[in-house]
Amino acid sequence: MTPAENGAATIWPKGESFELSREKGDLLVLTHIYTATLVLGVGALFGVLQGFSRANWIEMPAWFDYYRMLTAHGVLMALVFTTFFITGLLTYATYRSIPRVRSVRLNWIGYCVMLVGTVMTALTILSGNASVLYTFYAPLKASPYFYFGATLLIAGTWLIAADIIANVVWFKRQNRTLPIPLPAFVATCTMTMWIIATLGVTAEMLILIPWSLGWTSGVNVSLTRMLFWYFGHPLVYFWIMGAYVIWYLVVPTTFGGKVFSDALTRVAFILLLLLSTPVGIHHQYLDPGISAGWKFLHTVLTYGVVLPSFMTAFAIFASFELAARRNGITGFWNIVRRLP
């Protein structure tokens, strides 16, 4: 080990115990990822059709209007594809770093709830009863099934989060003195951030569902917008943290390398968790109902993301370099040329 490798850590623990009920877990994870990929394909198709239709290269039939297609594209890509992919990825990170004979039932139930929610939302959009785009700003009103479906999608992710946290709790009970394995730690961090963020959109749903059913006559428009962006910005961090899981854990693994620093990886994820709120108002600069002071505060807090971003940029390239040096590759151009 060279001095530069101080603190560099192996990412995935090794041992026979990893084969324990591995098939069940792999099937589960692959189902999440394949579902995400399928949704990505369908969402992309709507995106291409929408682009062609906007450019007047094709004419969509009158019964399939532009905004319906745009809503389907936005919801499938931004909300559904990303969510299935990340729940699959985090489940993988947790299962592969915590060896045990485990039940995967709770995670499967979560997956099924997410799937039912997705199908309900997608059918409502495609039937033309929810052309509200993926921001669904009230008082633009969708059919109650749109809001029910979206709520089920979120409820399902909470069950996945519960499964991940249950595995981490099991690990801590078995190994009181050991730190939580890095992949399970970052999965827990990401899911904690997600639970906090989705409380906002769930609160919004509790306002929109009775209104959509006709039980209440109006909504507080500014409140629903604020609740949406309380969720909407951390949603972006959910994507980022998913990407970070790949950059910090998966990419170095493909080099047979190590993560540059176990501790700093944990710090980066904790920083993102802390900085995920309150920042949502920077999506509402032009809202007349929010005073300039709040807009300023949220802008400053949003800039805080500079720190985990810089840490990550450094750590990724440092782990490339460490992997190269271990293989005897030195010199900038040699590293660029010879790493996969």
Residues at the interface with other proteins (CB under 8 A):
4, 6-7, 65, 67, 131, 133, 137-140, 220-222, 225, 261, 263-264, 267, 284-292, 295-296, 299-300, 303-304, 306-307, 309-311, 314-315, 318
CA–CA–CA angle 295, 299, 302 (5° rounding): 140
Give the residue with the Cβ less far from other proteins, 74 or 117: 74
Supply the minimum distance, in Å, between the C-beta of residue 21 and other proteins: 35
Tokens of 205: 């749903």
Answer yes or no: are the C-beta atoms of 85 and 242 closer than 8 Å.
yes
Ramachandran bin of 142, using left for φ above 0, alpha for ψ from -120 to 50, beta for the remaining angles: beta
Range 55-69 burial, b when 16+ CB lie within 10 A, else e: eeeeeeeeeeeeebb
Q: Which is nearer to other proteins, 288 or 328 (CB)?
A: 288
Q: Which is nearer to other proteins, 119 or 178 (CB)?
A: 178
CB atoms within 10 A of CB 244: 23
Q: Per the structure block, which two tokens stand in for 204?
A: 């919004």
Q: How many residues does the chain have?
A: 340
The residue among 75 and 161 lying less far from other proteins, judged by its C-beta, is 75
Geometric angle at alpha carbon 335, from 334 and 339, rounded to 5°:
115
Q: Whole-number minimum distance, CB 30 to other proteins, in Å?
A: 36
Q: How far is the CB of 226 from other proteins (least distance, A)?
A: 11
CB nearer to other proteins: give 276 or 284.
284
Which CB sits closer to other proteins, 2 or 16?
2
Q: Reduced to 3 states, what is the DSSP secondary structure of residue 291?
A: coil
- The least CB distance from residue 4 to other proteins, in Å, is 7
The residues near 119 (Cβ < 8 Å, ≥ 6 apart) are 149
How near is the Cβ of 263 to other proteins at its closest, in Å? 4
Shortest distance, position 149 Cβ to other proteins, whole Å: 20
Q: Coil, strand or helix: which one is 97?
A: helix
